[in-house]
Structure 1
């Protein structure tokens, strides 16, 4: 939109919501790349105003139904736990007609939240404590939503962590080889093919009822956590667009995939790629402390596997995209997706070498929590 149109549409959208006092100013806010986010200052309090990206999330009505249900439930849970419901969960502001979102005269979808004051999001893990706080926050998110009916949630990105489905797409890309690249990546193809049977492990357990369906966040990065400016403690999980039904071990595993890797996601020197055992340990401790006994024994036992599966899935997605002509992930150089794939597969290989250590860490953390009476559910 042009600047003039922006101003007009912003005024229309801001005026549609039931704010406390008249608008004073509205400025772009944050570093997000998907939605357009603004900080709206009103006479009595600030708000977050967002224009939703309906190119990526093509069913905004279902998405907002998810967010409305989850945030309402979270608010009730925070109140039950004597917390601050205005700071410890996102709070939707309804339109003046009582709707959870607004569609402007141009067809754009908007939503509004209370602005959480005295807290900041950080883009990078600067010290181990940050990763611990991240684990604790996402574990706490799991605990608060452990009784939420996950099956009522819509899939905002269908098949997002359907690991067998991702493998089928990869196999098809290999067979079609539309860019003639398969011959140069035979080692990577073989690496993935050798682990085909593993891709269905978690989904098979879900189908058999051995793993429960949970509310999952599906974007468990540090910058989706609000950190209190005074205490340094994580207080609120944000960016709920990808909240869907899923597996707790996948949220855990994706955090380990990008947070406990000793190298960047697109590192070309594979000797730098490894699983940081200290970071794996500190995140596991934070996550299980945050879960506070809400996970089943089967879920806890599968945490290392969740880490491996999410890393393997990500590597397969990068390889699939490379074979298909780099049409999904943005690339900055030739063979960028192949470099990303090799980094993920290198991390998988290192996890497999350190498998015993990963399992021991989970067991030891559980024993420590048991002593502090944070029990794990049977199962």
Structure 2
């Protein structure tokens, strides 16, 4: 239903050439995405989900600031800004987004050709390249004034708040599903104290806020199809102030696993210590010395925190009737939650080994 005004939308962006075609593109959970083909080049067109991102104007301001900052650095170093970072396409009136006659918000990017992304780690080098890319993203923005950025989703990775919201969802039990997930609820309750750890360090002045991506899944890095090297970080909706541990941890929970995020058979879902080690190496190389010793020391905590938090979010969405994440079947979010909790349990079993890996860099 959201594509009913797409012709109107296309006409209001400053695309080059004549329209050839457009098709649905990608598999994102949140926004609707199209590949739009013009004689002058290809573009990505996205409807911004303003039910989740309540102030799209601020979201787009964040993206414009960050991509222009990175693009200028790339250009100064002799690189290709149109290939190594996202480039927004302005509307014909010069704006970074378009609001259509239905009140829906849209944005467009120049399409990056000869690039691929992966939903699951196929080999360690792919994961290493994504680590380099996200680490480099952190490095490129290490001197960006973080206070200029808006919080596109307030307290997005504030795990204590996520825990409190989850408890309210359990108490409300809108869909009468609590009775079906008591084991999963208990799993979360047993780790309540842990959810405060990172924010306690921050309040003590020990953990800084940085510009963070906040959705560092493997499939949010474009890999150069010709060289196999990490090329460009995409999906910048959640770029805002946060902990580098959020970015590191989200990558581990998504990539250092032997199973998909929605694998029903939990025997196929295991924490992969080798991939974790590969990512630590690549991420630190990409960051180029910008992280503190405490941030590096807390990599295992970051991995566990983001995995637990994501499981909490999936389970809460299941309890509330699947209003946030797109689902393909009734218990999709429950399946997703269970994979995250399996990974948390595996991390806990491998805790000493995870610590040993990071200690090599301290």
Fold-level similarity (TM above 0.5) = yes
**2:32 is the counterpart of 1:35:** yes
> Aligned ranges for residues 73-112 of structure 1 at < 5 Å?
73-112=69-108
Partner residue of 1:284? 280
Q: Which residue of 2 aligns with 1:55?
A: 51
Distance apart, 1:63 and its partner CA: 0.8
Contact 1:258 1:265 (C-alpha < 8 Å) held by counterparts: yes
Answer yes or no: is 1:310 the counterpart of 2:306: yes
Looking at structure 2, the residues matched to 121 and 252 of structure 1 have their Cα atoms a distance apart, in angstroms, of: 18
Distance 1:24 1:182, change over 3 A: closer
Q: CA deviation at 1:294?
A: 1.2
Deviations 1:60-113 (A, max 9, x none): 111110011101111122123332222111122333433222334443433332
1:223 offset after TM fit, Å? 2.2
Distance in 1 between residues matched to 2:264 and 2:216, nearest whole Å: 25
| Residue of structure 2 equivalent to 1:123 | 119
Shift of 1:242: 1.6
Q: What is the correspondence of 1:185-224 to structure 2 with a 5 Å cutoff?
A: 185-224=181-220
Query: Across the two proteins, how many residue pairs are aligned to each other?
Result: 360
Bigger Cα displacement from structure 2, 263-272 vs 249-258: 263-272
Largest Rg, 1 or 2:
1
Q: Structure 2 matches for 1:254-333, cutoff 5 A? A: 254-324=250-320, 326-331=322-327
* Cα contact 1:253–1:303 (8 A) shared by 2: yes
Provide the rounded CA distance (Å) in 1 between the counterparts of 2:89 and 2:135.
Answer: 26
Secondary structure of 2:108's match?
strand
Does residue 9 of the first structure (1) align with residue 8 of the second (2)? yes
RMSD of the alignment, in Å?
2.6
The residue aligned with 1:349 is 345
In 1, Cα distance between equivalents of 2:77 and 2:214: 25
Output one character per residue of 1:95-150: Cα deviation in whole Å (capped at 9) or x when no partner: 34332223344434333323323323333322221111111111111110111122
Extract unaligned runs of 5+ from structure 1: 368-379
Contact 2:119 2:218 in 1 (8 A): yes
Comparing 33-42 and 208-217, the one that deviates more: 33-42
Higher mean alpha-carbon deviation, 284-293 vs 98-107, is at 98-107
Bigger mean CA deviation after superposition, 187-196 or 66-75: 187-196
1:70 to 57, 66, 69: 66
TM score, norm. by length of structure 2: 0.89
SS across alignment from 1:87: helix
Which 5+ residue runs of structure 2 have no aligned equivalent?
A: none
**Match of residue 372 from structure 1:** none
Q: Secondary structure at 1:171's aligned position in 2?
A: helix
Matched, 1:362 2:358: yes
- Using structure 1 for the length normalisation, give the TM-score: 0.85
Task: Provide the residue aligned with 2:20 in structure 1.
Answer: 25
Worse-matched range after superposition: 232-241 or 47-56: 47-56
User: Of residues 128, 135, 140 in structure 2, which corresponds to 1:139?
Assistant: 135
Deviation, 1:184, is: 5.5
